Amino acid sequence: MAEVDPDVEYTEQHVWVRLSPRGSARVGITDFAQESLGDLITVTLPAVGDELVAGEAFGEIESTKSVSEVYAPVPGVVTAVNPLLVDSPELVNDEPYGEGWLIVLSVVVDSAEPASGEVKLMSADEYRGFTAE
């Protein structure tokens, strides 16, 4: 059974986000997702400074089984990209909630924008129920 970290929030696209009170968000894929993908070969991520829209693809993960897009859980500007994944994409398999994180965002909240790209975030319990369906 896949590990579910109680300290992060989840999307239906199997992305987790750890929001900080300072307005940043660390993002990665879930243990469920990495188990489904199998052994990772490459991880393609955005550049620092790129603006992401919630619900839109920001990168790709290639495994021995397939290539999957990764979707932004919240809107923001990329402030960091995990440099370890260039040479060691398997970190996502080994530590999806730790050293296998993908990006860090500075979360952008703009009340003037319509909520069309809004993504529903789930608690650990909600995500467990979602993946059990």
> Which two tokens mark 124?
């650990």
**pLDDT, position 114:** 46
Q: What is the per-residue pLDDT across 78-95, written as a single tens digit (0 to 9) for each?
A: 999 999 999 999 999 999
CATH class of the region 9-132: mainly beta
3 state SS for the chain: CCCCCCCCEECCCCEEEEECCCCEEEEEECHHHHHHHCCEEEEECCCCCCEECCCCEEEEEEECCCEEEEECCCCEEEEEECCHHHHCCCHHHHCCCCCCCCEEEEECCCCCCCHHHCCCCECHHHHHHHHHC
**pLDDT, position 111:** 52
Tell me which residues of the chain have a pLDDT lower than 50: 114-116
**pLDDT, position 133:** 73
